[in-house]
Structure 1
Amino acid sequence: MKRSIYIMALGAFGIITTEFGVIGILPAIAREFNISIDTAGWLLSGFALTIALTGPFTTLLTAKINRKLIMCLVLAIFVLSNVLSAFSTSFAMLMIARILPAFLHPVFWAVATVAASKQVDPKDAPKAVSVVLGGLSIATVLGVPITTYVADLFNWQASFFLAGIINLVAFAALVFLVPSMPVTEKTSVKNQLVILRKGQLWVNLVATLIMIAGMFATYGYLAEYLGKISHMSGGQISLMLLLFGGTGIVGNWLTGIALSKNVLLTTRLFLLSLILIHFAAYTFGGLFVPMAIIISIWGFIHTGGFLIGQTRSTSVAPEAPELAASLMVSFGNAGVTLGTLLGGFIITAFGVQEVIWVSSLLLLITFGLTFVVVGKKKAAAEEAQEEVTATNTATIDIEEAEQVAVG
């Protein structure tokens, strides 16, 4: 793998630490501003909703800007956002500071994943993308638990300062270690929008939305779940999040290999495995040792979901991969929003343990959508028609040649 791929993975680590780092400190923020846990959850869902609504537009608007320059701009804004978040004196101010970088978040994600896939052979594209997405896994290994630990050790503001430093390091690495990436393709906006006619793309995007909603309905409140159901302390929760992310790195890597071999089978096995691990968490969540084992397996499975959504979305739209990737990011973050909202509602109404059932139902729906195929018959008919046309053309050519020979 080229060095640039790993640098972009570092950038992904920075932005994901900012986006998901609040998961472990939601209870502390709720106490600080005297709000409910589901209201605090808007720090995650509001960020994700902004991405969902603006992602494709910002990606199209920045399509002709040097790829390195735009990624550097994104990370600079993330640094500013974290500094403003740390100095927030009200929940409203914190929300505004959080939403600030969300507008350009999908731009970095789309550019980085597509740039990585273009630096290797097509068959190795899922592996290259998995390296960039490995930044996500490492963010859950180090970013989320460390920000949680720092908040527990000092205060919640310190966690935002830490996230800002991580983004600053990623920014510096991009500036000094990654070569210029000018846009050479002459693809117009109109040509890119053609992919919106593809029915299978929309099926895959909706499936991604529901799948990630299922993942985050519970994961978005994992710190709360471990505190209330597993009766873990702040330090123990940080350790569990570290374990979750640690196994996630391995799981993400293996998912990339599996997707290179069979996308659909990998997707179905992922969904079934995640449903089973949610049931296990519901059954044994009150026991420390079994829950620690469950967390390790959960993390191993969970992280592959982002790579699956990315691969399934871009594979059906090779003519506009960045737009397809940004659509995946938008639908994925809409899934984060939906999942955290549903999770917060269930927690408020029925208790945190019951959130498991929402996740399981959404993942089961996604599994059913993997059997939905749109346009396959049409594509087969068009291919058959092309073969018939080619055969007829060849027959006409032979007949004309015979007539010339006879003449």
Structure 2
Amino acid sequence: MAQTEEIADTTGGPRRSAARGLPAVAAVASATFTVVTSEMLPVGLLTPIGDALEVTGGTAGLTLTITGLVGAVSAPLLTPLLGRFDRRAVLCALMAVLAVGNLLAAWSPDFAVMVGARVLVGIGMGGVWAIAAGLAVRLVPPRSAGSATSLIFSGIAVASVLGVPAGTYIGELADWRTAFATVGALALVVLGALAVLLPPLPAEQEVRLGGVLRLFGDARVRTGLAVVALLVTGHFAAYTYVRPVLEEVSGASAGVIGTLLLVYGVAGVAGNFAAGAGAGRSPRSTLLVISAVLAATVALIPLLGGSVLTAGVLLTVWGLSYGGVSVGTQTWLLASAPAAREAASSLFVGVFNGAIALGALVGGLAADGAGAGAVMWLGGGLAVAALVAAALGRAPATGRL
């Protein structure tokens, strides 16, 4: 069959071809990049944000917690509320909300305004992520769905490569407000790309909140969500405070930390595509490897990260393992509920972002109460718990979407 193979979309959407679908998939990937960059931006800017708004480092970390909590709640609620609206129009509207949130954060004169801005970011992020996660199968032929899903989720990994480190560099070269304003402008550019490149995407089916919640009755879905919760909570308990940890343990400067985060992110992109290929064959095996490697590397940073070199090696392995978490766990959930992709995606995004918020919160408590090194031990312990859940819980036979 020719490479430009087209098949009819039985949901009433456009005919799909790999060649025509690639620009649309790239636009959606740029949206996931922008929402994750927006969510994670405070990670590399906690110190200057705290200084400017006159709050402690732990309190500054709430900028991540608030966004995660709002995203966790908005994703499963927005999906039913969106009803039969065309998904292209919905994505564009949500990107507009994201842009406003970032621009408001750039202007914020005090922490209260920053909180309001981060609420808007959470609404836009949760909605975009929930919808984008299941779009690949609507934009390309079935044989290309796996690689297209990995490409969409590469936006998350690339956000670690370019988003968070770029925000750190912009914060050093200009200030943290300029970093937020830049991402707000990027959201507007992506909005335009989505409007131009996406075909009409009528809703596949009406999703009701009861239908979303009924997915908890599937043991495969429950196990997948448990693995998501444990891995992501552990990761963000540690990663949210990676800058103060590196400053304390390795004595790294802000410029060096930006470089280390760039190395981390490059490894994350590689991990995303490697995990996407592996999860298509066996989601359980893929997540067992990810959990084991993540647990070991995070826990070793306080012990072996005394030099910038060893810290860089550990961060590289950390990025390689965590880069596969999003696509690996999303593949698990979609394969567990292939007839309810948007509902499963909304649960995934809700749990994922709730875990981000919880991780940032407990990491802040650990950092303020027991020191920067404690957050790494906490993260490693939760990754071990995810390993146990993935090993003992029920999993889909394959990750075919």
TM-score, length of structure 1 as denominator length: 0.88
Task: Give the AA of the match of 1:164.
Answer: G
Q: Structure 1 stretch 268-277 or stretch 99-108: which is displaced more?
A: 99-108
Match of 2:234 in 1: 214
- Establish whether residue 15 from structure 1 lines up as the match of residue 15 from structure 2: no
> Contact (CA 8 Å) 1:208, 1:309: kept in 2 or not?
yes
- 2:299 aligns to what? 279
Equivalent residue runs for 1:354-373 within 5 Å: 354-373=374-393
Question: Does structure 1 residue 228 correspond to structure 2 residue 248?
Answer: yes
Instruction: Please say which structure displays the higher CA radius of gyration.
Output: 1
Equivalence for 1:97: 117
Letter in 2 for 1:158: T
Structure 2: which amino acid aligns with 1:242?
L
Q: How does 1:32-181 map to 2 (within 5 A)?
A: 32-120=52-140, 122=142, 124-181=144-201
Aligned position for 1:270: 290
- Higher mean C-alpha displacement, 199-208 vs 6-15: 199-208
Letter in 2 for 1:322: E
On the 8 A contact 1:192/1:319 being kept in 2, the answer is no
- 1:187: how far off? 6.2
SS of residue paired to 1:180: coil
| 1:27 matches 2:47 | yes
Percent of residue pairs identical? 27
* Structure 1 residue 188, shift from structure 2 partner: 6.1
Task: Tell me the residue number matched to 1:297.
Answer: 317
Match of 2:280 in 1: 260
Partner residue in 2 for 1:399: none
Shifted more, 206-215 versus 179-188: the winner is 179-188
Q: Is the 8 A contact 1:55 1:104 kept in 2?
A: no
| Letter matched to residue 34 of structure 1 | E
Q: Partner letter of residue 99 of structure 2? A: V
In structure 2, C-alpha distance between the alignment counterparts of 1:12 and 1:57, rounded to whole Å: 19
- What code does the residue aligned with 1:270 have? I
Tell me which amino acid in the other structure corresponds to 1:333.
N
C-alpha separation in 1, matches of 2:150 and 2:88: 20
Match of 1:237 in 2: 257
State the SS of the aligned residue for 1:253: helix
Aligned counterpart in structure 2 of residue 327 of structure 1, from 347, 363, 382:
347
Return closer, same or farther for 1:320/1:29 CA change in 2, 3 Å cut-off. same
Find the aligned partners of 1:23 and 1:244 in 2 and give their Cα distance.
14
Q: Residue type matched to 1:20 in 2?
A: M
- Using a 3 Å threshold, how does the CA distance of structure 1 residues 143 and 186 change in structure 2: closer, same or farther? closer
Q: Cα distance, 1:124 vs. partner?
A: 4.8
Scaled by the length of structure 2, the TM-score of the pair is 0.89
Counterpart residue number, 2:357 = 337
Q: Using a 3 Å threshold, how does the CA distance of structure 1 residues 68 and 234 change in structure 2: closer, same or farther?
A: same
Q: 1:190 offset after TM fit, Å?
A: 5.6
Per the alignment, do residues 335 and 191 of structure 1 end up closer, same or farther by CA in structure 2, a change over 3 Å counting? closer
C-alpha separation in 2, matches of 1:366 and 1:131? 25
Q: CA deviation at 1:3?
A: 1.6
- Separation (CA, whole Å) in 1 of partners of 2:155 and 2:130: 14
Amino acid at match of 1:12: T
Closer, same or farther in 2 for the Cα pair 1:187/1:348, shift >3 Å? closer
Change (3 A) 1:284 1:180: same
Residues 29-64 of structure 1: per-residue CA shift (max 9 Å, x gap): 111122111111100011101111232111111131
State the match for 2:332 in structure 1. 312
SS at structure 2 position matched to 1:307: helix
- In the alignment, which residue of structure 2 is the partner of 1:403? none
Q: CA deviation at 1:192?
A: 5.4
Q: How do 1:343-358 and structure 2 match up within 5 A?
A: 343-358=363-378
CA offsets 1:87-107 (integer angstroms, 9 cap, x no match)? 100011101111113124222
Runs of at least 5 residues in structure 1 that lack an aligned partner in the other structure: 377-407
CA contact (8 A) 2:80 2:206 kept: no
Cα deviation, residue 253, structure 1: 0.9
Secondary structure of the 1:183 match is coil
Deviation (angstroms), 1:184: 4.5
Corresponding residue for residue 390 of structure 1: none
